[in-house]
Structure 1
Amino acid sequence: MVAPPDNDVLWARTLTYAYRGSPALVGVSLGAREGEILTVHGPRGAGKTTLLKCLSGQLAPDHGEVWFNSRPVHTLSAARRERLRRERFAWIGSEPALVPELTVWENVALPLMLRRAGRRVAKHTAREWLDRLDIGDLWRARPAALPQSQRQRVAVARALAGAPAVLFADEPTAPLHRADRGQVLRTLTAAARSHGITVLLATHDEEAAEFADSAVTLVDGRRVGAIPAPDAEGRGACSVSA
């Protein structure tokens, strides 16, 4: 194994994965620094979701390596990968996976309470993130009473409330209207900057490029390029390694 660069929180080398013999990823490599927003683009079926699942430990790659903070993820047991996802990673999908029996704030606080955080602290943190996403007044509602756009904001708040080191977002703005998409993307960006959260965002949303530090494009499971996004002074910035 080749040790990853010291400044990369997440690093992957030549990831390969196949579904029932059909290649979904073919030799994909990348790296992301602390607090970086990295977007993954590509047409439907390009391998974006599979890449995020391999990077987050949901899938074990057939070949290749995944490293988190210079420690190998690809060699961990399924139980240890699950613990890593629970304690250091967060996931947002295109459909909000909320617990219907819990209130909005309880859904957001759930990752904290699973880590045995005090109820008062968990509730305060949850309501803080709900306020940032402009749904603080819904904190006592049940998910079934909310439209999908608001449920998706609750899912975003839950992912951020746990203060993950890496947040994997698979088309998180898909169910949202344009104005809502912009706010969610701005919130994710602000959280990454202020809390040092690395965000890997698989998306079709062209607006996401405005918030990204770097981007990778997949076609038929292969990486075909990375597009540097300008930093605050207009220079290109990209930490993605080929």
Structure 2
Amino acid sequence: MEAPPDNDVLWARSLHYRHPDGSPGITGVSLGVRQGEILAVSGPRGSGKTTLLRCLSGLHRAQRGEVWFNSSPVHTLGPMARERLRRDRFGWIDPAPALVPELNVWENAALPLMLRGTGRRRAKVAALEWLERLDVGDRARKRPHELLHAQRQRVAIARALATGPTVLFADEPTAPLHRAERGHVLRTLTTAARSHGITVVLATHDADTAALADRTVAMLDGRRVKTVHLPEVAEAEGRAACSLSV
């Protein structure tokens, strides 16, 4: 078994995953992600970006291949061990904000910290710091239903950053935001990641978002390709990227 490079916080080799319905997810994908790197996984919708992130984070267990985190094998872990890894070392941002409706904004942002065993007061301070950075600090005592959709997504991003994850997986994190808001939120996310040494794996079909990363890997039909030319967001709505070189 080949050992992963020492400077790669994440390393994957020959990942294969098929969805439960039998449809292909990813085929033979290999990559490495360096400590503190912001890596964009680009490609049109349906190209396998989300499946790749889920396999790297342990949410999905690849049917074939290897995933290593800090030189420890993730692919051999059982469900409980993978859950602990995601809770303690990883952060995740979905395209849609999944907040707990019974909790207010700061409680939602602090919830992962409290589940780790962090005291309520300390968790609240960390949550409020990130809510302020993302311009929703004044909504801290509101319930999710009282927020605009874009505000709820900012809360979800704050929740992911508040834990200080080693690796943050962001699956189209600004998809619910208006174009004018995307730049600010992405700059906050990338600046925070760099200042805190957080490794980010960012899935996106938007060329402007991918441009903020240190490096980009391209996906198409579940495979890595050399280049996928992503259209501008205004042109991309409702149609996939249209040219590539393999």
**Does residue 1:9 correspond to 2:2, yes or no?**
no
Alignment match, 1:62: 63
1:119 to partner: Cα distance:
1.2
For 1:83, give the aligned amino acid: R
Alignment match, 1:237: none
Cα distance in 2, alignment partners of residues 200 and 134 from structure 1: 23
Cα distance in 2, alignment partners of residues 225 and 126 from structure 1: 39
Matched ranges for 1:209-228 at <5 A: 209-225=210-226
Matched ranges for 1:1-242 at <5 A: 1-19=1-19, 20-225=21-226
1:42 to partner: Cα distance:
1.0
* Partner-residue secondary structure (3-state), 1:9: strand
Contact 2:104 2:143 in 1 (8 A): yes
1:210 to partner: Cα distance:
2.7
Contact 1:57 1:85 in 2 (8 A): yes
1:226 to partner: Cα distance:
6.6
Cα distance in 2, alignment partners of residues 34 and 82 from structure 1: 22
For 2:190, give the aligned amino acid: T
TM-score, scaled relative to structure 1: 0.91
C-alpha deviations, 1:77-132, integer Å up to 9, x for none? Answer: 01100010010001101100000000100000001111111111111111000010
For 1:187, give the aligned amino acid: T
RMSD between aligned alpha carbons?
1.1
* Partner-residue secondary structure (3-state), 1:95: coil
Contact 1:215 1:226 in 2 (8 A): no
Contact 1:25 1:47 in 2 (8 A): yes
* Partner-residue secondary structure (3-state), 2:8: coil
Q: How many residues of Structure 1 are paired with residues of Structure 2 in the alignment?
A: 227
1:34 to partner: Cα distance:
1.5
After the TM superposition, which segments of 4 or more aligned residues of structure 1 sit over 3 Å from their partners? none
Contact 1:37 1:213 in 2 (8 A): yes
Cα distance in 2, alignment partners of residues 115 and 195 from structure 1: 19
For 1:15, give the aligned amino acid: L
* Partner-residue secondary structure (3-state), 2:219: strand
Matched residues, percent identical? 69
TM-score, scaled relative to structure 2: 0.90
In structure 1, runs of 5+ residues without a counterpart are: 228-242
